[in-house]
Every structure is written in C-alpha cells, then in structure tokens.
Structure 1
C-alpha cells in the first residue's frame, strides 16, 4: 500500500517515537499488571488467614464456654495458636482476653496472667492493650504485687485515663497510702463525669476511705 509523503512522515514519526519510548511503556504496563495481580493475591491471602484465625477464635470461645477443668488445655492451645500464628490479627488480642477470663474462672491465675502479659506488651492494638493492662493490674493487686500492678498503669491513653486512675486508687488504698488513693479516685471521678454509672462506685470508695 502506497502512502503519500505526509502519511509516510507521520508513520516515520510514530515509529521513531515507539522506538524511543515503546520499551518504557511496555515495562510500565507490565509493572502495573504485576502490582495489581500481587495486590489481589495479597488480599486473598489476608482473607484466608483471617478466616483461619476466626476458626481458632471460635474454637477458643467454645472451649471457654464449657467452664470445665478439661477445657483448660483446649483454651491454652487455641490461644497459643492465635498468638504464634495469627498475632497480627485482631482475633489474637480478643482471644487473649477471652482466654484470660476463662482461665481465671478455672483458678488458673498463672495461665491468665500469661495471656494478659502477652497482650499488654502488644502495641498494634492500643485499645485491647489498655484493657489487658487494666485487667493485669487488677490480677497483680489480688496477688499483692503492688509495685508491678502500678507499673501497668503508667502513661494511660486518654480514653482509659479515668479507669486507670480508679485502679491506681485501689492499689494505693491496699498499700495504705490513703492520701494518694484519694487523689487517684478523685481524678477518676473528674474524668468519668457525673453521667457515668461507674462514678457512683468510685465515689463510694472515696467516701469509705474518707470515713475510715
């Protein structure tokens, strides 16, 4: 097929442009395709892992609901699997709290403490971490390990500041540090506000301390 001079010049220009930029364009298209495929593969992998983690969490909940001494091994096994293989998922954090509560019911204080200590050391889930620190402080209070309990209540996140102050008051009162306990409970009341039902509970403790 014959081309006139103008068409031939256009074709030559296109060929020259493609010769200069064609490899780069093809490379970019391939890179985008690979990135897109990799992203979808990663999403599928993450979804699969989340599904597996959920299965272990449900098994943990089932074992915890039994409330029997025989269920302790199942609870610890499921919780350990969640921590070791799915530690980055939310199921691991939730599983640690469920396991700790179930083990406390079974009087396995050391097992419960292990669950809470693991979660208290995790930074990826601040809310769950704060709950674990609060519960761990209460467990240590029951064991009369007051300094260790107070150590769990340092630098509270704003949303937990009042709850941490309340627990700190409990520990200080157990140590006989009445003035410090009073200050901690007052701080908790100020942080909770009058509308919070827990405020009345803290006020009762403060009144009891003042009347002692």
Structure 2
C-alpha cells in the first residue's frame, strides 16, 4: 500500500515538474508584471497625493496673500503653482483668485494674462471654459469686443452653451447688432432648463428686443403636438 502511494506521489511530482518546465517561465513573468504594476500604481497614487497636498498649500498661500494685498507673495506662490503643479485644480482656482485681484486693482491686462494661462493650462475642461468666459468679460470691459467674441467662439463643454451664448448676445448688443444679439439670447434661452433663474434674465433681454420666448415655446409645443 505504501509503495502504491509512493508511486502516486512520484507521478504527481513528475506531472508538476513537467507543468512547471512548460509554463513556469510564463507564470513567473506574469507575476512579475502584475506585482510591478501594483507597485507602480501605488507609487503613482502616493505621488498624486503628495502633489495635491503641495498644490493645496500653495493655493492657501495665494489666497492669504491675495486677501492681504501682498502682490509680491501672490506672484511668488502662483509662480510656483504654475511651474510645478500647472494641471492641478488648485492652480486653476488660484488663477481665478489672482485675476480677480488684478481686476479689482485696475490691472486688466495682467488679469487677462492670468486667465489666458488658466484657459491654456488647466487640467479640467470646465476650468478652461470658465477662464475663457471670465477673459471675455475682461475684454468686454476694455471694449475689445471682437477679441471677447473670439474667446467664446471655440468649443466649450455643453454645460456652458447657454452662458456663452448669453455673453455673446451682450457683446453684440454693445456693438449695436440687435438681430444677431437676439439670435444669441434665443440660443441661450433654449439651452437653459426652466428651473434655472438665469433663464429669466435672458427672457427679460429677449422681451426688451420685442421677442416673447415663453409664448414661442408654447406655440412650438402645440404645433408639434398637432403634427402627431
């Protein structure tokens, strides 16, 4: 009986050796790749966490210096953010703080430079779009209407379609292009949902131009229903 068991064990060992000789190298390579990938992922996560912590500290420095009107410290902290953490949310948010401070200090040209940097370097499309909207607002204040419209003419995330169209309408009104402005306001009105307060402001602008978007919307709905 013992010999029979020894023979079975030897056969199993032989099969195991054969299996390992055939597949052992591949299995080892796979294990090395998997373990290496896990180590790399953990390292990347750790690096990202450290980057976010450092960027947050610099954002706080920008915020404190900006509120204290310490322009030298603002420039130093924001410069470090741009140089080392350009794609982080903190860098974009700091850019908005810096630009607002520059506008309040009557330095629109410097504010434009900051907003243009955010629009070009932010890691989030929403931040890029917001930077373009604010840049367009600064350009509008400077009466640089064509440049302002250029900022709003590119592709923006769909969530910004209504606001961008409203801003274009405002700029066109300042250029005394009433029919074009009305078309943009109408686009903004349609892009916004009924429960958005901003939509009522757009409706007021359309009413001032002789349009009644609410009535037009009801009429269109009735016509669509009748066509069914």
Which TM-score tier does this pair reach, normalised by the shorter chain? 0.7 to 0.9
| Aligned counterpart, 2:22 | 20
Conservation of the 8 A alpha-carbon contact between 1:99 and 1:112: yes
Tell me the CA shift for residue 200 of structure 1.
3.6
Question: TM-score with structure 2 length normalisation?
Answer: 0.81
- Please say which of residues 187-196 and 7-16 is displaced more in the overlay: 187-196
1:168 deviates by 0.5
TM-score w.r.t. the length of structure 1 is 0.86
Could you tell me which residue of structure 2 aligns to residue 11 of structure 1?
13
**Residues 16/134 of structure 1: CA separation in 2 closer, same or farther (3 Å cut):** same
List aligned pairs for 1:118-137, cutoff 5 A: 118-122=117-121, 124-137=123-136
CA pair 189-11 structure 1, distance change in 2 beyond 3 A: closer
Residue 61 of structure 2 corresponds to residue 62 of structure 1:
no
Q: Report which stretch shifted further, 72-81 or 196-205.
A: 196-205
Which residue of 1 is the match for residue 169 of structure 2? 169
Structure 1 partner of 2:147: 148
SS of the aligned residue for 1:42 comes to helix
Pairwise CA RMSD of aligned residues? 2.3
CA-to-aligned-CA distance 1:1-53 (integer Å, 9 cap, x gap):
x8743332322222222222223222322332222122111111111111000
- Number of equivalences: 207
Q: Would the alpha carbon gap of residues 32 and 195 (structure 1) be closer, same or farther in structure 2, given more than 3 Å must change? A: closer
Gaps of 5+ in 2: 211-228
In 2: Cα distance, 1:47 partner to 1:123 partner? 18
Map 1:56-205; keep pairs closer than 5 Å. Answer: 56-66=58-68, 68=69, 71-122=70-121, 124-154=123-153, 155-205=155-205
Per-residue deviation, 1:179: 1.5
> Structure 2 CA distance, aligned partners of 1:34 and 1:90?
29
Give the C-alpha shift of residue 156 in structure 1: 3.4
Cα 1:5/1:205, change in 2 over 3 Å: closer
- Structure 1: 5+ residue runs without aligned partners? none
Structure 1 window deviating more from structure 2 (139-148 vs 25-34): it is 25-34
- Quote how far apart the aligned CAs of 1:193 are: 4.5
Cα distance, 1:207 vs. partner? Answer: 4.5
2:213 corresponds to which residue? none
Preserved contact between residue 162 and residue 191 of structure 1 (Cα < 8 Å)? yes
